[in-house]
Structure 1
Amino acid sequence: MGTFFSETGWLCLTVTAVLGAVILCKLKKNHRQEGRKMVCLAGLWGGACLLSLSLFWGLILFSLSCFLMYAYFSGQEFLPVDQKAVLITGGDSGIGHALSKYLDKLGFTVFAGVLDEKGSGAEELRRTCSKHLSVLQLDITNSQQIRDAHSKVMEKVQNRGLWAVVNNAGILGFPIDGELIPMTQYKRCMAVNFFGAVEVTKAFLPLLRKSKGRLVNISSMAGGVPMEKMAAYSSTKAALTMFSAVMRKELSKWGVKVSVIQPGSFQTNIAGTSDLWDKLEKNILDDLTPNLQEDYGQDYILKQRSFLKFMSNSSEPDVSPVLLDVQHAISAKSPYAFYTPGKMSFLWLCFASFSPTVLFDYFSKSSHSFTRGMPRALSKANWKNEAM
């Protein structure tokens, strides 16, 4: 029995050492934060096994964990680029613009869909990127432009097919209480952030099914974490996240892998220009009923512009975490279903999903303690007495 235990123990130890060495070699090629986290967890698990169990069973379980780690890292290896064709929407600015440049440098054939093919963003892409990048006029709320873009992509890729679609285009709207957001803004947000992405997906899915490629949808942390002032935007991103999850299950039989990116707060142009905010603000004021005008007051609405400053101060200027996650989603042998780039985005999503509602509401209110005034009715000292 002692001889058997000794021989088996040495065999397990040898297997563990070999697998560990292979994992470390793979880790050197894998610079993602998740890889380092997995190794740390495996180390803690192995230590717990060796301390709590006999040497024999500890080595058995630790060898098994090393094998699972090896299988995990094998799936994280990147496929060769080979000028794979990728369509990106919302390439005028922000993440879509940066992603178009980044994938072009990596050697992908990039189709950058833009809202204005004669705008400064489109011109910069033509000027700074390689000949493998094509700028397409693509307003994703315009069915004809989607069909035209599909024809141009088909004409260029021919038999090579389309490897990936990245639905990135999106708008924020005016951040204010959901009761005050006009229905036109709700419908506009849904048209761009959800229906546009769905229509682009439906148009290009036959090409993705043919190539057994990738569908990547850029959602938002706000699609899973309730945030004040974001009723229109968050609702549409939640819809996009669920659409992605359903499509992931349905398209798996075709060999198409679907990922959703839920970034935290990054500095982009999604909020729009000052002129756009003037227009949206005017629409809200014009849409007010007498009761809303009395209860909220115009001063309260005008103070909501401070959200622009808050967004700028709290957002991360470096969008590279998002770019790396999109690269992984379209290049890894086994991409993840969900990505959460950005500081605290993963923790906030977990907190919103699993914590008691009372606890979440308390901490979310504390962490967003910036103030943008109070509605006129709530600022009255006798309001509570009147309500009673």
Structure 2
Amino acid sequence: MSTFFSEIAAWLCLAVTTVLGGMLLCKLKNSPGQVGSRAICLMGLWGGICLLSLSLYWGLAVFSLSCSLTYAYLSGQEMLLVDQKAVLITGCDSGIGHALSKHLDQLGFTVFAGVLNEKGSGAEELRRTCSLHLSVIQLDVTNPTQIKEAHSKVVEKVQDRGLWAVINNAGVLGFPADAELIPMADYRQCMAVNFFGAVEVTKTFLPLLRKSKGRLVNISSMAAGVPMENLAAYGSSKAALTMFSAVMRQELSKWGVKVAVIHPGGFKTNIIGTKEMWDKQQKNLLDTLAPDVQEDYGQEYILALQDFLHLSNMHSSADFSPILLDVQHTVSAKSPFALYTPGKSSYLWLCIASFFPAVVFDYLRKRARGSGNMHRAISTPAQENETM
């Protein structure tokens, strides 16, 4: 008799699991960006553990409970009505900011697209292709006067509706090189644009976000959490932006403002620059190097640094949709995530850098990038170094 009731309980548990699983899949189907993929991976892993480590009955029971909890969690990921909510985006001349302005405009947001050159081709294209709800505004994030003027224009247009989101996207890369070789001017420029510019824009527009209980979204980089050779200036500035985001997330929670930081992987944008720009930056680097440093590294090594830019371009994705969907989630979901990692291997490398021993991470990074070019002082035999 007990066996009969056990079978009934098992079949009942299986039926409940099937129903909950179906409901969960419906939720996942409507979840953009990383929400659905992460939930599927976690549920699959958890379900496998339950079924393998427990009896069939208890495995299904625990898995059913986890389905219920995940369903409740995903309910908090439901999308809010757009209702022409106003968003400000910096760095919209090209690349991610440009694509994001178009994407949010198509979704029905009122978009303020901040550009470095309001008369440039990128700004003109936004005016030509987007709806009347998109406004192009001059906004150099390193210029306090332009930030204040942009604030006045936004306030004048949104009036009582308020500003729903600020998306700090503007950024510069600088010329990738060993940290010792990068001119101090490049370090200062990266900090000025990638960090101080984002901080000043945030501070200026925060009263509007507090009023709307809106969103602050900072576009950081995988390089903020994953040490990457040749990106000391860029990675350091983005790491500062990531820490700023984490602190602001805690401080602004009492105001109902939600903060998210996005760590994209490799995407093909104009942040890398043009061949002419690379040549100019490389010449500037050579002109500013101390003779002994230039001697140690060797001109051949320094001239080969442009290969890093070519390789980065080759391995970058031209499809911005992962970033667009994640940003859409940050400004639309009831409960957005604190961290998003769109792009190939971004989340994996962040996990390895955060949780693995440094020696393991260094080994994996070395294997991933290959042997590469070597400094002159390293590649030259010791006896030859002594005679130089």
Normalised to the residue count of structure 1, the TM-score between the two structures is 0.93
Question: For structure 1, which segment, 192-201 or 376-385, has the greater mean C-alpha deviation from structure 2 after superposition?
Answer: 376-385
Cα deviations across residues 150-188 of structure 1 (Å, max 9, x unaligned)? 000000000000001110000000101100111111011
SS of residue in 2 equivalent to 1:349: helix
Counterpart residue number, 1:123? 124
Give the counterpart letter for 1:135 in structure 2: V
Counterpart residue number, 2:212? 211
| 1:179 equivalent in alignment to 2:180 | yes
Counterpart residue number, 2:379? 379
CA contact (8 A) 2:105 2:111 kept: yes
Q: 1:384 to 1:87 in 2, by over 3 A?
A: farther
Computed over aligned residues only, the root mean square deviation of the Cα atoms, in angstroms, reads 2.3
Give the counterpart letter for 2:262 in structure 1: I
Deviation at 1:369, TM superposition (A): 1.5
Deviation at 1:366, TM superposition (A): 1.4
Q: How does 1:191-210 map to 2 (within 5 A)?
A: 191-210=192-211
| 1:257 equivalent in alignment to 2:261 | no
SS of residue in 2 equivalent to 1:378: helix
Deviation at 1:357, TM superposition (A): 1.2
Deviation at 1:146, TM superposition (A): 0.3
Deviation at 1:355, TM superposition (A): 1.3
Q: 1:110 to 1:301 in 2, by over 3 A?
A: same
Q: 1:55 to 1:152 in 2, by over 3 A?
A: same
SS of residue in 1 equivalent to 2:272: coil
CA contact (8 A) 2:32 2:329 kept: no
Deviation at 1:311, TM superposition (A): 1.3
Q: How does 1:223-234 map to 2 (within 5 A)?
A: 223-234=224-235
Q: How does 1:138-157 map to 2 (within 5 A)?
A: 138-157=139-158
Counterpart residue number, 2:135? 134
CA contact (8 A) 2:28 2:35 kept: no
CA distance in structure 2 between the aligned counterparts of 1:44 and 1:311, rounded to whole angstroms:
33
Normalised to the residue count of structure 2, the TM-score between the two structures is 0.93
Q: How does 1:295-314 map to 2 (within 5 A)?
A: 295-314=296-315
CA distance in structure 1 between the aligned counterparts of 2:292 and 2:92, rounded to whole angstroms:
42
Runs (5+) with no aligned partner, structure 2 = none
Counterpart residue number, 1:21? 22
Cα deviations across residues 39-68 of structure 1 (Å, max 9, x unaligned)? 353345345435544565444422321211
CA distance in structure 2 between the aligned counterparts of 1:270 and 1:121, rounded to whole angstroms:
14
Runs (5+) with no aligned partner, structure 1 = none
CA contact (8 A) 1:85 1:110 kept: yes
CA distance in structure 1 between the aligned counterparts of 2:378 and 2:59, rounded to whole angstroms:
63
Q: How does 1:198-347 map to 2 (within 5 A)?
A: 198-347=199-348
Cα deviations across residues 177-222 of structure 1 (Å, max 9, x unaligned)? 1001111110110000000001101111111111111111000001
Q: How does 1:346-365 map to 2 (within 5 A)?
A: 346-365=347-366
Cα deviations across residues 63-92 of structure 1 (Å, max 9, x unaligned)? 321211111221121111100101000000
CA contact (8 A) 1:264 1:340 kept: yes
Deviation at 1:226, TM superposition (A): 0.7
CA distance in structure 1 between the aligned counterparts of 2:40 and 2:266, rounded to whole angstroms:
28
CA contact (8 A) 2:216 2:257 kept: yes
CA contact (8 A) 1:377 1:383 kept: no
CA distance in structure 2 between the aligned counterparts of 1:181 and 1:303, rounded to whole angstroms:
15
SS of residue in 2 equivalent to 1:377: helix
